[in-house]
Each structure stands twice: as C-alpha cells, then as structure tokens.
C-alpha cells in the first residue's frame, strides 16, 4: 500500500513572548479612601482583546488582552486599574475559522492568568484588600461574539 503525502502544513501554535504592553493604576482619592469604614465597592470589569500580525512574519501574531477594573464605593472611585497583557504567538497551518478561534479564545486564555496576577498584586500594593478576578470562559465569549456577528449579518442581509 502506497503512503499518501499531503502538502498541508503542520498545525503549530507556539508562545514566543508574554509581556505587559501597558499598565495603569489610579487611586484618585487616596489617602481619604482608606479612612472610610466598610469596604463594599461595586466593581466594573471591561474586557477586550485585539490582534495584529507582525510585519515581515505572517506566522507571528501579537494578541493583546486588555482588562480594566474600576472599583467604586457609592460615587467615589476607589481605584482604577488597566492592564494590556500581550503575547507573541507563532500560529501556522490553520484555516481561517480555526485561526479566528485561536486568536479569539486560545490566546486570551493563555494571557488571562498573567493579567489577573498583575492587577491583583498592584491593587494590593495600592493599599486595598486582596482583589481576585474570577476565571473567564473565553470559549463562551468567543462563541457569543460569533453568534452576535452572524445575527448582525443576517439582519443586514434581510434589509437589502
């Protein structure tokens, strides 16, 4: 029996580098915020990711996970932290749908623990109690975004 050879490239994902691209922490009302008694802030979390291929290398891609956390007690901002956790990923051999899932789910899943640790340690260094970001299901978020995009496309097609 003859062996079949395929010209399909092997699928590969590699992490070349993980780094903090940008970080910001503010406690605009310090030290007054530490004089208030009870610590019961309302926390808002904003999460987004972006992707850009590196020039000159079609297999190397930068993915940036941006997490913004704002803690308010009543109307007073206790702290505002934002991290852009980035990674360089070598991605090769995947079709377009697989590539989108890797960029939209796999890579943010890799970056999230680094971003979570950066925010938690900085909030604590800012004088606040321990702050732990709960795990995030990037697979579900990616699926929701794909479904929303498909619904928008269907709605746009109906209008034409």
Where residue 47 falls (left for φ over 0; alpha for ψ -120 to 50; beta otherwise) is beta
Position 3 in a domain: no
Higher pLDDT, 38 or 132: 132
What is the three-class DSSP state of 158? Answer: helix
The tens digit of pLDDT for each residue in 14-23 reads: 999 999 999 9
The tens digit of pLDDT for each residue in 115-155 reads: 999 999 999 999 999 899 999 999 999 999 888 888 888 88
According to DSSP, residue 37 is labeled S
With pLDDT > 70 as the criterion, what percentage of the chain qualifies? 94
Position 82 in a domain: yes
Residue 58 and residue 67: Cα distance in Å, rounded?
27
Predicted confidence at residue 154, as pLDDT, reads 83
What is the three-class DSSP state of 117? Answer: helix
Predicted confidence at residue 3, as pLDDT, reads 58
Query: Across-strand partners of 46?
Result: 68
Predicted confidence at residue 153, as pLDDT, reads 82
Position 6 in a domain: no
Position 134 in a domain: yes
Closest by CA to 104, choosing from 68, 133, 65, is 65
Position 105 in a domain: yes
Q: What range does the domain containing 121 cover?
A: 12-159
Higher pLDDT, 95 or 156: 95
Q: 16, 60 in Cβ contact below 8 A? A: yes
Closest by CA to 61, choosing from 46, 77, 45, 50, is 50
Position 127 in a domain: yes
Q: What is the CATH number of the domain that holds 121?
A: 3.10.420.10
157 backbone dihedrals φ, ψ, rounded to 5°: -65, -35
Closest by CA to 11, choosing from 97, 93, 90, is 93
Position 112 in a domain: yes
Number of domains into which the chain is organized: 1
Residue 13 and residue 37: Cα distance in Å, rounded?
49
* Average pLDDT for 45-67: 94
Predicted confidence at residue 42, as pLDDT, reads 94
The tens digit of pLDDT for each residue in 78-100 reads: 999 999 999 999 999 999 999 99
């Amino acid at each position: 029996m003859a062996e079949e050879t395929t010209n399909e490239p092997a699928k590969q994902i590699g992490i070349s580098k993980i780094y903090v691209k940008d970080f910001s922490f503010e406690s605009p009302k310090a030290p007054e915020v530490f004089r208030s008694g009870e610590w019961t802030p309302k926390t808002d979390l904003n999460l987004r990711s972006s992707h850009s291929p590196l020039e000159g290398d079609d297999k190397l891609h930068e993915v940036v996970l941006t997490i913004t956390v704002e803690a308010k007690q009543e109307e007073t901002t206790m702290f505002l932290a934002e991290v852009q956790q980035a990674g360089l990923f070598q991605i090769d051999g995947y079709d377009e749908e697989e590539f989108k899932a890797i960029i939209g789910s796999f890579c943010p899943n890799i970056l999230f623990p680094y971003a979570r640790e950066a925010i938690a340690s900085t909030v604590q260094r800012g004088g606040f109690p321990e702050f732990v970001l709960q795990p995030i299901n990037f697979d579900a978020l990616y699926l929701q975004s794909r479904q929303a995009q498909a619904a928008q496309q269907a709605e746009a097609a109906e209008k034409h």
